[in-house]
Structure 1
Amino acid sequence: MSRYAEFVSNNHNQNVEELKELLRIPSISSLSEHKEDVQQAASWIADKLKNIGMENVEVVQTKGHPIIYADWLHQENAPTVLVYGHYDVQPVDPVHLWETPPFEPTIRDEKIFARGATDDKGQMFLHIKAVETLLESEGKLPVNVKFCIEGEEEIGSPHLPQFLAENNEKLSCDVVVISDSDMWDRGVPAITYSLRGLCALEVSLKTANTDLHSGMFGGGVQNANHLLVQLLSTLHDSNGKVNVAHFYDDVLELTEFEKEQIQALGFDEEKLKQQLGLTDLTGGEHNVPYPERISSRPTLEMNGLWGGFQGEGTKTVIPNQAHAKITCRLVNNQNPEKIQDLIKRHLEEQAPQGCTVSVSLGDTGNPFLTPIDSPMIQKAAEAYQDVYGKSPVYKREGGSIPIVSDFNQSLNAPVVLMGFGLPDENLHAPNEHFNLENFDKGILTICSFLEQLKS
């Protein structure tokens, strides 16, 4: 790797300047006024892929934002790697909290500040630079490489599943590699081998045909807010366990090795309580250790509650409607649609007297898991060891990236999540940044991973 290290070091400033060019493009996928900016970012990446030597570069238009495809397929009897990433970014609000403008990349304290710096332009760009490094140094790649870079990840990738289904053969590969996650800590690489899935529901409860005067009807008719609180209280037992029949039927217990890995990460409860301004960490299942509860156990959360008068002051009404939004984080082997049906049935069966309950089903996303002992995971571990000088930790992520499961199922290929961000880099928040200490190391780690795969 030494010759690659010298090449990457010599090109560091140029590489950072190129990343700045991409970060200046305000490719906010959720805002229609930035549609042309998203298109510009797609064209920029396509041009960059052509310039480094990738072939069959396409900007594929969808009903939304474009998907970029490119490949280099000249290694017979070698594995094929599909790199996935996204070039769209989150909105920047609240703008006044940014220390420097979000689309004017600024370097301070060896960090590059801009929207998209770590999520995901900076991390995705590492793969482009790794391929360029190998092609410039060797004139070829050690394995076959394909790119699939989309512009809708921040709005749920609505058109990517169809693209996967329609281009299954074109995208066929031996492993999918994604860098859209983080390391455990500074200097401590991590491989995320599991993501939780999700499902969403909304429950509406109705009593009378209109809001009623609390002086004329108070104490005589049902209050929708009261009944909704009563209904929602049936969703958990006194120990924080979800109280929906069959909710846990498909949950697989952690192996002893997985539990050891979680324990080895270390957890400072007092530090976290201080950071969050809390006096205890008793959410969820009380008899399960906190690190397992937030990564390896399913949850059911109330995300929003409303009903009756919401304005300033007092309005003495008895509300006739009340509503709640619910989401669940789900673990490997759970089916989101099945869980939705179980919760819907529970709410309907537990509805208090004197009201009607309706439940609408929202978005779903499948959980994902690649076994720690997967050969591809181990190749990635060797690459981190090669560059960072230490083996990565293995972690389950409590969040969800639904498209990861789509890749896994559609292409029947393992997915390796090789993150190079750090947990405190403010993704989705003001002053998002990427630590440049992981810029060159990230490029070299990806180079090493591709080299490891050829053997």
Structure 2
Amino acid sequence: MERFTAYIDSQRSRFLAELADIIRIPSVAAQNRGIEETATFVEQRFRRLGAETRILQADGGNPLVYATIGRGSRTLLIYDHYDVQPAEPLELWQSPPFELTERNGKLYGRGVADNKGNLMLRIQAIEAWLATEGELPIRIIFAVEGEEEVSSRTLPAVCREYADLLRADGCLWETGGVDLGERPVVTCGAKGIQYVELIARGARHDLHSSYATFVPNPAWRLIWALNTLKGPDGRVRIPGFYDRVRQPSDSDLAALASIPADDDDALLANLGLSDFLDGVRGVERLRRHLFEPTCTICGLVSGYTGKGSKTVLPNKARAKIDFRLVPDMEPAEVLQQLRQHLDAEGFQDIEIVDLGGEHPARGPLDATIVRAALDSAREVYGCEPILYPTMAGTGPMYPLCTALGTPVASGAGCGYYSSRVHSPNENIRIVDYWRAMQWMGSLIRHFAG
């Protein structure tokens, strides 16, 4: 595929300019910013590619850009999303979050790793194929949504309504990249999630802190409630929480045993830590990471948090919490268990706001799309790729793949171990962007069979 590579090399400036254009649009789903504008940008780019497009929507949700191109006996569904996480805290960014900035061989910007970089490089790789190899040997469907960062609220309804449009022989998932050892990673599943906000309320308005002698403090109230959710041993204390947890299968454990687990020290150094939680290391760390559910405080705020002091008794306290779920846990059931637990502990006054849930998902480890992702990774990177039975993160894999019977694999992505996804200074390495295009081109060929 020398002509394919030469074409990419000749278009590097234009391709990076396109990436900068989409990064510039602040498509923050949680803040309802830039959504329509970004959907239009993506649809227009598909049309320039020569794809047929349409917008799919359900329940008043954000537009899903649907595009089809190519012909062949096999159909590949490619899932990506154009929405991004909020950029806050802005003061921690070394450059404006919505301006693609190059520093020291890296590209910085909100969404450059998750997921606009992967979206654009896959489109650009297909352009390179069409320009140098001719007609695609497979049919490709793109499903690019705008609600992934807010739990894909309406995607299940879209998948039910347009199931016939979305069925495929395999799905290439949004994620992809290399691990600490520079080995390409392929994953075949995802954890689920239930995201909530807990709210404790006190007086009608903030008060002078001297009133703490007889006025309830919602910050303390929320802390006491949070203290009932998880113990110092790390176990979630909500009754029934672990009842549905499916134990890893023999194939899961075989895949786990094949994953290199000798990077503890390098990972600790990269994270700036002296040790992991509970001192866990190696295979046991990976087993926890992939196969155990979690309860995580993602944000906690109340009263005055600015510079200096302010003696205030706050009237409200809020905490954002996510539960990462493994098969066969049900998001709605976890939500119900949380309510019942807080009530039983005497916290009936704590409000629970449901911010969205997604089911966990798993796909077969020997599917055609998995073999294509692994074979193409070997070809491009010149080393043995790492196969993960699932990723520790979450995405709408269940309604888009599991429910429709579509095998799934990640790959052809530009992520790396220090991309800082969801954090300030999100970035990719430029060399990974071009190498992932090679991976995409090779994957097309291998999937065509």
1:113 is displaced (CA, Å) by 2.6
Q: Is the 8 A contact 1:302 1:325 kept in 2?
A: yes
Q: 1:372 aligns with which of 348, 365, 369?
A: 365
Select the residue among 254, 262, 269 that pairs with 1:266. Answer: 262
**2:427 match:** 433
Q: Kindly report which structure 2 residues correspond to 1:384-399, keeping only aligned pairs within 5 A, or say none.
A: 384-395=377-388, 396-399=390-393
* Residue identity (%): 29
Does the 8 Å contact 2:256/2:286 carry over to 1?
Answer: no
> Unaligned 5+ residue runs, structure 2?
none
Alpha-carbon separation, structure 2, partners of 1:103 and 1:215: 44
What is the RMSD computed on CA atoms of the aligned residues?
Answer: 4.0
Q: Secondary structure at the match of 1:398?
A: strand
Kindly state the Cα deviation for residue 365 of structure 1 after the two structures are TM-superposed: 1.5
Per-residue deviation, residues 284-327 of structure 1 (Å, max 9, x unmatched): x99x9333323321122345667899995667x8x999876543
Distance 1:58 1:217 in 2: 58
Question: 1:115 pairs with 107, 110, 113, which one?
Answer: 110
Which of structures 1 and 2 has the bigger CA Rg? 1
- Paired position in structure 1 for 2:398: 405
Conserved? CA contact 1:80–1:173, under 8 Å:
yes
Partner of 2:335: 340
Q: Shift in Å at residue 253 of structure 1?
A: 2.6
Q: 1:413-428, aligned counterparts within 5 Å?
A: 413-418=406-411, 419-428=413-422
Among 322, 331, 339, which residue is 2:326 paired with? Answer: 331
**1:243-293 deviation line (CA, Å, top 9, x unaligned):** 33332222233343133134x13242586278445566229x99x933332
Whether the 8 Å CA contact 1:80–1:146 is kept in 2: the answer is yes
1:144 alignment partner AA: R
CA-to-aligned-CA distance 1:317-338 (integer Å, 9 cap, x gap): 8x99987654321112222222
- Helix, strand or coil for the counterpart of 1:265? coil
Q: Does 1:50 align with 2:44?
A: no
Name the SS for the 1:378 alignment partner. Answer: helix
The one-letter amino acid of 1:71's match is T
- Taking the aligned partners of 1:17 and 1:214, their CA distance within structure 2 comes to 53
1:111-156 CA-partner distances (Å, limit 9, x unpaired)? 2233322221111112112221222223211111111222333333
Q: Distance in 1 between matches of 2:19 and 2:209?
A: 61
Query: Which amino acid counterpart does residue 9 of structure 2 have in structure 1?
Result: S
Query: Who is 1:349 aligned against?
Result: 344
> 2:130 pairs with 123, 130, 135, which one?
135
- Pair 1:446–1:334, CA change in 2 (3 A): same
SS in 2 for 1:295: helix
- Cα distance in 2 for residues equivalent to 1:325 and 1:87: 23
User: How does 1:208-247 map onto structure 2 within 5 Å?
Assistant: 232-236=226-230, 239-247=233-241
Tell me the matched-pair count.
Answer: 440
Distance verdict in 2 for CA 1:93–1:334, change over 3 Å = closer
Give SS of 1:282's match: helix
How many angstroms does 1:234 deviate by? 4.7
Give 3-state SS (helix, strand or coil) of 1:176's partner. strand
Deviation per CA, 1:31-85, whole angstroms, max 9, x where unpaired? 45x44xx43433333232222222x22345774543222212532xx11111121
Whole-angstrom CA distance in 2 between matches of 1:132 and 1:310: 49
Q: Write the deviation string for residues 398-428 of structure 1: whole angstroms up to 9, x where unpaired.
A: 2222x22221244321222223211312333
Preserved contact between residue 368 and residue 404 of structure 1 (Cα < 8 Å): yes
Q: Does 1:72 align with 2:69?
A: yes
Look up the equivalent residue of 1:58 and give its one-letter code: R
Cα deviation 1:405-453 (Å, max 9, x = unaligned): 2212443212222232113123333333221212222112112112112
Q: What aligned pairs does 1:168-317 form with structure 2 within 5 A after superposition?
A: 168-185=163-180, 187-201=182-196, 232-236=226-230, 239-254=233-248, 255=250, 256-262=253-259, 264-268=260-264, 272=268, 275-277=271-273, 281-282=277-278, 289-303=284-298
CA distance in 1, matches of 2:225, 2:150: 32
TM-score, normalised via structure 2 length? 0.82
Say which of 423, 446, 452 aligns to 2:440: 446
For residues 207-265 of structure 1, what are the alpha-carbon distances to aligned partners after superposition, in whole Å with 9 as ceiling and x for unaligned?
Answer: 999999999997x9999877776665554456332333332222233343133134x13
Say if 2:166 and 2:400, in contact at 8 Å, map to a contact too: no
Distance in 2, Cα, partners of 1:340 & 1:3: 53
1:179·1:420 contact (CA, 8 Å) conserved in 2? no
Q: Say if 2:13 is the partner of 1:19.
A: no
Q: Which runs of 5+ in 1 are unaligned?
A: none
Q: Is the 8 A contact 1:197 1:368 kept in 2?
A: yes
Amino acid in structure 1 at the alignment position of 2:368: P
Q: Provide the TM-score with structure 1 as the length reference.
A: 0.81
Using the TM superposition, give the Cα deviation of residue 385 of structure 1 relative to its aligned residue in structure 2, in angstroms.
0.6
Equivalent-residue separation in structure 1 for 2:211 and 2:19 (angstroms): 66
Residue identity opposite 1:52 in structure 2: L
Matched residue, 1:92 = 87
Determine if contact 1:207/1:222 at 8 Å carries over to the other structure. yes
Return the alpha-carbon distance in structure 1 between the equivalents of residues 304 and 428 of structure 2: 44
Q: Greater CA deviation, 403-412 or 166-175?
A: 403-412
